[in-house]
Structure 1
Amino acid sequence: MNHISEPISTTHAGRVRPGDHLCLPFASDAQQQEVVSAFIADGLRRGERVLYFADRTPPDVIDAWLDPRGVDGALAIARGQLEVRVVGDDRPEQFGIRDAVRDARAAGFQGLRLTGEMSWALREKRGSTARVHEYESGVASTVTDVKDLAAVCQYDERLFERTELTGLVSVHHGVLCIDPLHDDRQLRIVPTYSPRGLRIAGVVDDGTALPLAAALAEAEGWSSGEPLLVLDLAELSFIDVAGIRTLVRFAESVAPERRVRIKDMPASMRKVLHLTRWSLEDVDESP
Structure 2
Amino acid sequence: MVRRVEAPPERKPLEGCHSSVVFSDDRQWTEHLVAFVRGGLENGEQVKYVVDATAPERVMRALTDAGIDAVDAVTRGQLSVTAAPQPHRADAGFDQDAMIGSWHDAAEGARASGYQGLRAIGEMSWGARDSIGADRLLEYELRLHHELFPQLPLQVRCFYDRRLMSDAYVSVLASAHLTHLGEPHSVPALRVAPLTDRPGLLLSGSAGYDTRDAVAAAAAVVSGVAAPQVELDLSALRHLDAASLAVLADAAAVRPGGTPLKVRKAPSPLRRLLQLFPELDSAVEVVDR
Normalised to the residue count of structure 1, the TM-score between the two structures is: 0.51
Partner of residue 76 from structure 1, selected from 73, 76, 81: 73
2:129 aligns with 123
Q: How many residues align?
A: 162
- Alignment pair present for 1:174 and 2:162: no
Distance 1:52 1:70, change over 3 A: same
- Alignment pair present for 1:149 and 2:154: yes
SS of the equivalent of 2:50 reads strand
| Contact preservation (8 Å) 2:128, 2:134 | no
Distance 1:39 1:112, change over 3 A: same
1:264 aligns with none
Quick one: distance in 2 between partners of 1:147 and 1:36? 22
Distance 1:26 1:166, change over 3 A: same
- Which has more radius of gyration? 1
Counterpart residue type for residue 180 of structure 2: V
Partner of residue 100 from structure 1, selected from 99, 106, 115: 106
Shift of 1:146: 2.4
2:118 aligns with 112
Quick one: distance in 1 between partners of 2:106 and 2:85? 18
Quick one: distance in 2 between partners of 1:171 and 1:33? 23
Quick one: distance in 2 between partners of 1:62 and 1:85? 10
SS of the equivalent of 2:149 reads helix
Superposition RMSD on alpha carbons, in Å? 2.7
| Contact preservation (8 Å) 1:41, 1:69 | no
SS of the equivalent of 1:35 reads helix
Quick one: distance in 2 between partners of 1:114 and 1:39? 9
Quick one: distance in 2 between partners of 1:44 and 1:125? 34
| Contact preservation (8 Å) 1:21, 1:143 | no
Shift of 1:147: 3.7
Partner of residue 51 from structure 1, selected from 45, 48, 52: 48
1:227 aligns with none
| Contact preservation (8 Å) 2:104, 2:148 | no
Quick one: distance in 2 between partners of 1:114 and 1:25? 16
Deviations 1:52-84 (A, max 9, x none): 111111112211111233210001001110112
Unaligned runs of 5+ in 1: 1-16, 179-287
SS of the equivalent of 1:52 reads strand
Normalised to the residue count of structure 2, the TM-score between the two structures is: 0.51
Pairs within 5 Å for 1:217-256: none
* Percent sequence identity over aligned pairs: 35
Shift of 1:148: 1.2
Distance 1:138 1:51, change over 3 A: farther
Unaligned runs of 5+ in 2: 1-13, 90-95, 184-289
Quick one: distance in 2 between partners of 1:27 and 1:109? 33
Quick one: distance in 2 between partners of 1:172 and 1:54? 20
